[in-house]
Amino acid sequence: MIETRITKLLGIKYPIFQGGMAWVSSANLVAAVSNAGGLGVFGSGSLDPELVRQEIHKIKSLTDKPFGVNIMLMMPTAPGVVEVCLQEKVPVVTTGAGNPGPLVKRFKDEGIKVIPVVSSVALAKRLERSGVDALIAEGHESGGHVGEITTMVLIPQIVDAVSIPVIAAGGIADGRGVAAAFALGAEAVQMGTRFILAKECHAHPNYKESVLKAKDRDTVTTGVTLGHPVRVIRNRLTKEYLEKEYKGASAEELEELGRGRLKMSVVDGNIEEGSVMAGQISGMLNREETAAEIIQSVEADYYKVFERLEKFRPKKS
Ligand code: TUI
């Protein structure tokens, strides 16, 4: 049992969030993680709001534990998804790729916990003032849309800048990562990439295989010159994209090239022409397990860290 302000705030057993991943974290996975004592988070991505409502109903039928819905603020569907989350009174909303400030009061009025993802100290401070419950600080190691600062550097700076609890994300996939995040001041972690390999995750087997095979240097960031870097596993698409990007292709041309590519890999299994979003920690992952096994193994590894650290405890002189 690991108790922090986050486990108490949300009424969950383990301070472990499953990152809300568009197309990847659907109802089955979300419910499995929440039933195992973590916080499952549905990735609404670019889904039609009514389809998001159906998935929320499915999650509610599969678990009576708290769960979250991630809203991708830059999607045109985001305002509709916000209304659905309010109507369905989902327990937790996480947000990504934008500033949810103006929405915070509406969620809070419905008793919904609001936990935005941030990748900078400035936004963290601004959102604390707007009344959010906690912050997910996500480092450059993450998969998908990423900020510039690495987790190791971001977490302590955000922890020092705010007094609400911080959840660390980016490059964390086992108990050592959890202990490291806690050492930096975080009170929970969010893992995305490791949960792609959960048995309950319905991502295409090719997508999972690509994560399993990836080594430490197999992810790249595309879109850096456009100001919105996206971390993906290197493939035929990234080769073409990066060549065009660094030859000075226009933002419109690159956006066109990237359109629909996530669904292509996650749903259709086209991992050469699709966008295989995954974190740098992919290189460490080598097996598929159930969500419950993942959480148990993270917990067991977390305890082992204390045995290791015991050896390095400073001696009194
Ligand atoms: O959102 C993510 N990760 C994502 S979203 C995504 S879907 C996608 N599909 C196709 C192309 C591109 C993306 C895949 N991965 N993480 C949360 C996150 N949010 N990381 C960083 C941020 C962030 C960035 C800027 C949050 C706020 C922000 O604020 C800007 C502002 O308004 O100050």
The answer to whether residue 317 scores a pLDDT higher than 80 is: no
- Asked if residue 253 and residue 150 are part of one domain, the reply reads no
The answer to whether residue 315 scores a pLDDT higher than 90 is: no
| Confidence grade of residue 2 (pLDDT, cut at 50, 70, 90) | confident
Q: What is the pLDDT of residue 255?
A: 94
The answer to whether residue 294 scores a pLDDT higher than 80 is: yes
Any ligand 1 atom below 6 A from CB of 98: yes
- Asked if residue 177 and residue 87 are part of one domain, the reply reads yes
Any ligand 1 atom below 6 A from CB of 13: no
Any ligand 1 atom below 6 A from CB of 96: yes
- Distance in angstroms (rounded) separating the CA atoms of residues 109 and 91: 12
CA 31 to ligand 1 centroid distance, Å: 24
- Asked if residue 147 and residue 52 are part of one domain, the reply reads yes
DSSP 165: -
| Confidence grade of residue 316 (pLDDT, cut at 50, 70, 90) | confident
CA 145 to ligand 1 centroid distance, Å: 5
Q: Are 16 and 188 in contact (CB under 8 A)?
A: yes
Q: Which residues is 46 bridged to in the sheet?
A: none
Which tens digit of pLDDT belongs to each residue from 93-107?
Answer: 999 989 998 999 999
In this structure, what is the dihedral angle of CA atoms 222, 275, 94, 169, given to the nearest 10 degrees? Answer: -60
Which tens digit of pLDDT belongs to each residue from 27-63?
Answer: 999 999 999 999 999 999 999 999 999 999 999 999 9
Structural domain contains residue 93: yes
Mutate to test the pocket of ligand 1, among 118, 145, 158 (most ligand atoms within 8 A of CB): 145
Structural domain contains residue 230: yes
**Residue 247 domain boundaries:** 205-280
Which tens digit of pLDDT belongs to each residue from 109-155?
Answer: 999 999 999 999 999 999 999 999 999 999 999 999 999 999 999 99
Look at ligand 1, atom 9, and give the residue with the nearest C-alpha. 262
Which tokens hold the place of 310?
Answer: 């015991």
Give the domain CATH number at 33: 3.20.20.70
- Asked if residue 260 and residue 121 are part of one domain, the reply reads no
Split into its structural domains, the chain has a count of 2
CA 86 to ligand 1 centroid distance, Å: 22
- Asked if residue 152 and residue 21 are part of one domain, the reply reads yes
- Asked if residue 161 and residue 18 are part of one domain, the reply reads yes
Structural domain contains residue 317: no
Structural domain contains residue 254: yes
- Asked if residue 177 and residue 233 are part of one domain, the reply reads no
Burial code (b: 16+ CB inside 10 Å, e: under 16) for 47-77 equals: bebeebbebbebbeebbebbbbbbbbbebeb
- Asked if residue 252 and residue 142 are part of one domain, the reply reads no
Look at ligand 1, atom 14, and give the residue with the nearest C-alpha. 144
